[in-house]
Amino acid sequence: MSEKNYFVGGPNFEEYIVCPYDSVHRITPIRLANHLIRCAKNHSSSKMVRCPFNSNHLLSVGNMQKHVIECPNRSSLERHKLPDMLPPVEPRASDFVVESSEDWDAEPPTPTYNPQIYCEQEFVIRKIQGKPPAARREFRERERRRFKEMN
């Protein structure tokens, strides 16, 4: 009997992770935690154990002891327990200070911008909102007079 090889894929198929409960399930790493919760309900009889260092690592009881020794997330716990024994995750920042005469907290010498004053002095079409019809009519008349005076 000939063996059939099916291409199962699509864009970025290499980024998918195989579900530990069902090998047919392919999940993106971002959605893995949610999928494991849902899939565990369907496979309640399986004897899978979660890794103490990363809850997304799910293995059988027999493979867990080997995984705990080799887990890539173990270093974060070791670094937390013994911070002086392991090298730091990132190099520590040096105490480098640059002397400067600038004071960024001082107020600027220019006045602040007021959009209301700018719109009153320039050819900007304004619209009044939230007023009764009589007030809107009066505002439009004042705007017409303002535009005629500017011309």
User: What does each of the 151 residues of the chain score in pLDDT, given as a tens digit?
Assistant: 445 555 555 566 668 888 888 888 888 888 888 998 888 888 888 888 888 888 888 888 888 888 888 888 887 777 777 766 656 667 667 777 788 888 888 877 888 889 989 998 899 999 999 999 999 999 999 999 999 998 8
39 and 53 in a single domain? The answer is: no
Structural domain count of the chain:
3
41 and 58 in a single domain? The answer is: no
Residue 144 included in any domain:
yes
d(CA 56, CA 32): 7
Residue 98 included in any domain:
no
| Secondary structure of residue 58 in the 3-state scheme | strand
SS3 content of the chain, % helix, strand, coil (to 5): 40, 5, 55
Contact 28, 17 (CB under 8 A): yes
Residue 15 included in any domain:
yes
Residue 135 included in any domain:
yes
Look up the domain containing 59 and give its range.
Answer: 49-87
d(CA 141, CA 132): 15
Residue 67 included in any domain:
yes
58 and 34 in a single domain? The answer is: no
